[in-house]
Amino acid sequence: MQTLQGWTALVTGASAGIGEACALALSQAGARLVLAGRRGDRLEALAAKLPNPAHPLVLDVRSRREVETSLSSLPAGFSDVDVLVNNAGLGLGLEPAHEASLDDWETMIDTNCKGLVYVTRALLPGMVKRNRGHVVNLGSVAASYPYPGGNVYGATKAFVHQFSQNMKADLVGTRVRVTDIQPGMVETDFSLVRFKGDAQRASKTYEGMEALTPGDIADIVLWTVTRPARVNINVVEVMPADQGFGPFNIKRR
């Protein structure tokens, strides 16, 4: 098993949900943590309760300049990032493609695709140079299975999948690994964000079923990262037992 003692992990979107759970799991396993996200107060609070040293980093992954500046000037002890969990992301809206907001589409592309690429590009050279590292990307079942209103959200997660696989191709021969984790429904603020603060609509998403928890995903992230260095888990697809696949939708006339 790969130990995380002496390793540094950076989690984007560590201020809530899956990212927060991943930060906790990685810290409990011995890693030092860089906690990135926009809500600094939440990052500070998390840093204070982690069992190993943690550095809160207020960062909007959509800003290429902010990403490049802040990741090239991480403080001593946190600058050699070994594990990157590209978790920051969101879905916005569930309108059909012909009615959806172009602004929402842009925000999803800017965060889920461009933000993920900026952070990865900033940290990957160091991993390759040190010949040790692991990039864990939060994809989604939406990458493979379309659903009504998923449109650009699903497309961004398909991007995450292809980028992960292609990066893996580039990194053969190095000790830098890449994993795409593809969850189904996880109960977090994801739906609250998707429905723009409509708590009632958000809670209906998980009503009467048992969704995955952020801790379930953190367990998987930790498992992929702690495999022996020769093992690369390419993709993990995981759903609640209560979630399944829809039939093809056929309009009969």
Look up residue 178 and give its two tokens.
Answer: 């890449």
Radius of gyration of the chain from its Cα atoms, rounded to whole angstroms: 18
Q: Which is nearer to ligand NDP, 4 or 185 (CB)?
A: 185
13 binds, among ligand 8X3, ligand NDP, none (CB under 5 to 8 A by kind): ligand NDP
d(CA 32, CA 48) in angstroms, rounded, equals 13
Angstrom CA distances, 133 to 4, 124, 177, 251, stand at 11, 8, 6, 49
Inter-residue long-range contacts of 191-196, CB under 8 Å, 24+ positions, other chains counted: 193/90, 193/91, 193/92, 194/90, 194/91, 194/92, 194/93, 194/94, 195/94, 196/92, 196/93
Query: 119, 83, 87: which is closest to 4 by C-alpha?
Result: 83
Catalytic residue status for 206: no
Q: Which residues pair with 136 in a beta bridge?
A: 85, 179
Which residue in 118, 147, 153, 206 is the catalytic one?
153
- Our finding on whether 142 is near ligand 8X3 (CB under 6 A) is yes
Which member of 141, 178, 212, 222 binds ligand 8X3 (CB under 6 A)? 141
Nearer residue to ligand 8X3 within complex by CB, 36 or 152: 152
- Binder among 46, 185, 220, 221 for ligand 8X3 (CB under 6 A): 185
Size of the site for ligand 8X3 (CB under 6 A): 6
Q: Which does 240 bind (CB under 5 to 8 A by kind): ligand NDP, ligand 8X3, none?
A: none
Closer by beta carbon to ligand NDP, 62 or else 134: 62
Residue nearest to ligand 8X3 (CB): 140
Residue closer to ligand 8X3, measured from CB, 133 or 154: 154
Catalytic residues: 153
Task: Give the footprint of ligand 8X3 on this chain (CB under 6 A).
Answer: 140-142, 150, 184-185
